[in-house]
Structure 1
Amino acid sequence: MELAPYGIVIWDRTAIRFANGAAAAILGVAADALDGRPLAGVLEDGGAAATSLATAAEGEERRLECDALRPTGERRRLEVAASPAVYAGGPAVLLVLNDITDRRRVEGELQRAQKMEAVGRMAGGIAHEFNNMLTAIGGFARLAERNPADPDRVLTCVQEIAKASERAAALTGQLLDFSHRRATDEREVVAVAPLVRDLRVFLKPLLSAGIDVAIRADDDAACALVNPVTLNQALLNLALNGRDAMPAGGTLTVAVTAETPDDAFFARHRGLKPGRYVAIRVSDQGPGVPAEIRDRIWEPFFTTKEPGKGTGLGLWMVYGTAQQSGGAVELEGKEGHGATFALYLPAVEPPAAPEGPDALQVAEGEGAVILLVDDEDAVRRYLRLVLEEAGCSVVEASDGQEALERYDEAGGLFDAVVSDVSMPRMNGPELALALEARNPHLPILFLTGYASRRTAAGLTARQGRQIVMKPVTPDRLLGALRDLLAV
């Protein structure tokens, strides 16, 4: 036992009765210093760990990870296995300690390296896609400009520009998701079939020439409550996996159906509510998934691809999207007959058709007075037009300091503030603190292109504060302001 490379401890649930040299080295003390000491005294949160490990004395083997605190203050990560033992004729626990601190550190470095490798590969594809979208946006804008007297042509151009901008927003959303910089996991009612049909254009530059894409999505009434950005990302991941499974070419099929799964489905996913689901199936004609790894494919960083070809994050993100939406994902099909990944999302009723924009009023016939703060001129002009169209009176400022000047000039007679977060001289959070001293009840709507969940939580900690991610649609902006003013 003294020659064993692992720490070995006998603990009678009252105190340590034996510890070999490896255990003493792991815990950073002399071997004789452990004799008679309570186990909880050498582990961080030792009481909870000791309670869990003590059950091993009754014959139930346990295994857990915990931190050990050395007398020097150094923290070491331990893997602890507990088995029943006998000491002095009474029940005891045999503990085997494995110091996994260095392994966890190396795993973390590997994960970071894999993520950076994935970002590098992603950058080329994103640059390609943004150039495509900019071509569409600029091209349709020029076409509308050339023939402004033709309303049908102008409307078509404007609709295509809006679609391209939404796809660009989806791309930046993927990047923010990947770097954990999205402020919220906002979900909305999404018509799944149109989203899947739009995927064809998005997939075109990513799939090889030998792969055909078949889209079967005709049920426009099939709707789900989901984050459309993460759903797009999940479907892209499945499509790219299908592409990689068919190096010699084939057909990639994406199908959307609204269905009620059978009882066996709900037996496999006991946390799901029975009812209607929107099923999105992505199928390839590759060799399928070997039976021996089917249980592992959802693990983060598990990949069958050669080094440099995959991060093992794709299916993990798909699984996360399904969980976030209250659904499930399954692998269908048998080995040798292609793979079909089915994403099940709880079906919801389609949203009611919008009745048209209502005036944003604070009293009968009285439009809201808004202090609008953003350092980007084009963004500020857009937001001002939206607010004025809703009947608001708008005062503009290009940063926080100018906003304070405008606030004081107007005597503080504003119903709400709409402010960017990142600005020169004085940013949004700093402006909010300054305005709080003047009027602690002033509603503030923050707009930002990116923010971590921690930052977002800090900005919205006070009542009367909301945050909306850019790009923001007119309806989303006015809806958030109505919520603020209604409080």
Structure 2
Amino acid sequence: MTTRLGMGAEGDHQRVECAIARPSGEQRHVEIGAFPAVYQREAAVLLVLNDVTERRRAEAELQKSQKMEAVGRMAGGIAHEFNNMLTAIGGFARLAERAPDDPARVTTCVREIAKASDRAAALTAQLLDFSRRRPSDETEVVALAPLVRDLKVFLKPLLSAGIDLDIRIGDGEAHAVANPVMLNQAILNLALNARDAMPDGGRLTIALDSALPDAGFFGRHGALAHGRYAVIRVIDEGCGVPEAVRDRIWEPFFTTKEPGKGTGLGLWMVYGTAQQAGGAVEMEAGPDGRGSVFSIHLPAVPAPAQAGSLAEGLGLGEDEGAAILLVDDEDSVRTYVRLALEEAGCTVTEAVDGLDALERWDECGGLFDAVVSDMSMPRMNGLELSRALAERNPDLRILFLTGYASHETAADMTAQPGRRIVMKPVAPDRLIEAVRGLLAE
């Protein structure tokens, strides 16, 4: 922070935010501004400290209330979408059951079931991302095309009947390093603003592409790294943003909406998300001067390397496979995971909960290379099981499978080396990749 503030003496003002502790131990958030100044005829830096603790608290509370309101509005639409997916899954499963001797028919049905399952999983992930919080510095390489494409299902219950949503994917291979939760929320905020700008209906377009920005872009954002950028554009046909307030729209709590219909935090969050990802966000008038175009520019990165296939197996030696203790109280999930592990060459022992797992452990003398365990189970959950097994073998590797875990629980689960978490639903390749990585540690 000292280096950044010191730049204020060189002619550019700087702003940083940090946490400080009062003598009483109370934590406060302080915004520090550094401005070039002259003191006793010498170059100096004027520091302005502003306590923003209450503003941050208000932002957090308003964000929670916004989410609760949105979740309430989505409930009916989400139920409708899930019923569509369940209809496809159940229908194709019964069609395949009627003609088991027709391989082509069965293969077609299974593929459609997998597609519907993937759509349901994507919608569930969107809901979890929308409701939970992640640390602001938790970033990863994000495949942008699936993220943008999945918004079609997620936004459908939130849009008015007269709004036509158009998703355009120009670069299906675009990737960027970002916080996926914050990026998802940023695009959602822009889309909802676009909806509010079109009370009489219109077209809402969300487009993804990548390009090398022109010199004007880097002139406006001199601190950004030069190179190729992925661009997410949200385009509406609404009333547009008045020129008199365009310079203020990124300020926290500034809004042009009526009282009670906006907090002024949406664009502030979009701005912060783009900055945190090393990018920028811009606004311009829409085509023919109608509506607005909001563009999120993120530095493009290569796609991560693909994981190995199941055929590589999980062998510990030339003729020896991994011995896995599998723990899950859901019969269908346990059967699926067992089949995937056995296909990869593992020897699997099953248990229906934590207490049953301890019995299987003692019966086999603890001769397991790893444990794959669900988190939420009756009698003894996954975290309690891991603690009990750690007393028997402190070096045991454990892979937790869970549909949801709070930050505190996740931190507790992975605090010890040899512990990993995989979110459900998990595809076979992802499951095997996680187990292989765990055994390689």
Q: CA RMSD in A?
A: 4.2
Q: 2:277 and 2:30 mapped to 1: Cα distance?
A: 35
Aligned residue among 392, 400, 410 for 2:346: 392
Aligned residue among 84, 87, 90 for 1:132: 84
Aligned residue among 331, 345, 363 for 1:377: 331
Q: 1:317 and 1:369 mapped to 2: Cα distance?
A: 47
Matched, 1:421 2:375: yes
Aligned residue among 206, 220, 227 for 1:254: 206
1:360 and 1:390 in contact (8 A); partners too: yes
1:301 and 1:313 in contact (8 A); partners too: yes
Compare CA radii of gyration and give the structure with the larger one: 1
Q: Match of 2:359?
A: 405
2:314 and 2:344 in contact (8 A); partners too: yes
Q: What are the within-5 Å matches in structure 2 for residues 279-358 of structure 1?
A: 279-298=231-250, 303-307=255-259, 309-310=261-262, 312=264, 314-319=266-271, 321-323=273-275, 325-333=277-285, 337-350=290-303, 356-358=309-311
TM score, norm. by length of structure 2: 0.77
Matched, 1:172 2:124: yes
Matched, 1:211 2:146: no
Matched, 1:264 2:220: no
For residues 261-305 of structure 1, give each alpha carbon's deviation from its aligned partner in whole angstroms, at most 9, with x where no partner exists. 123323444453321122121211112123344445445665443
Q: Kindly tell me: are residues 441 and 302 of structure 1, through their superposed partners in 2, closer, same or farther at Cα, counting changes over 3 Å? A: farther
Q: Kindly tell me: are residues 285 and 380 of structure 1, through their superposed partners in 2, closer, same or farther at Cα, counting changes over 3 Å? A: same
Report how far residue 429 of structure 1 moved. 1.7
2:129 and 2:181 in contact (8 A); partners too: no
- Structure 2 unpaired stretches of 5+: 6-12, 34-48
Report how far residue 461 of structure 1 moved. 1.6
Q: Match of 1:40?
A: none
Q: Match of 2:195?
A: 243
For residues 133-160 of structure 1, give each alpha carbon's deviation from its aligned partner in whole angstroms, at most 9, with x where no partner exists. 3333333433444444554554444344
Q: Match of 1:478?
A: 432
2:315 and 2:346 in contact (8 A); partners too: yes
Report how far residue 207 of structure 1 moved. 3.2
Q: Kindly tell me: are residues 253 and 164 of structure 1, through their superposed partners in 2, closer, same or farther at Cα, counting changes over 3 Å? A: same
For residues 244-275 of structure 1, give each alpha carbon's deviation from its aligned partner in whole angstroms, at most 9, with x where no partner exists. 21122222223232200123323444453321
1:234 and 1:317 in contact (8 A); partners too: yes
Q: 2:308 and 2:237 mapped to 1: Cα distance?
A: 46
Aligned residue among 229, 232, 244 for 1:277: 229
The residue matched to 2:232 in structure 1 has which SS?
Answer: strand
Q: 1:464 and 1:284 mapped to 2: Cα distance?
A: 49
Q: Match of 1:455?
A: 409
Q: How many residues align?
A: 416
- Tell me the percent identity: 68
1:118 and 1:311 in contact (8 A); partners too: no
Q: 2:162 is aligned with what amino acid?
A: G
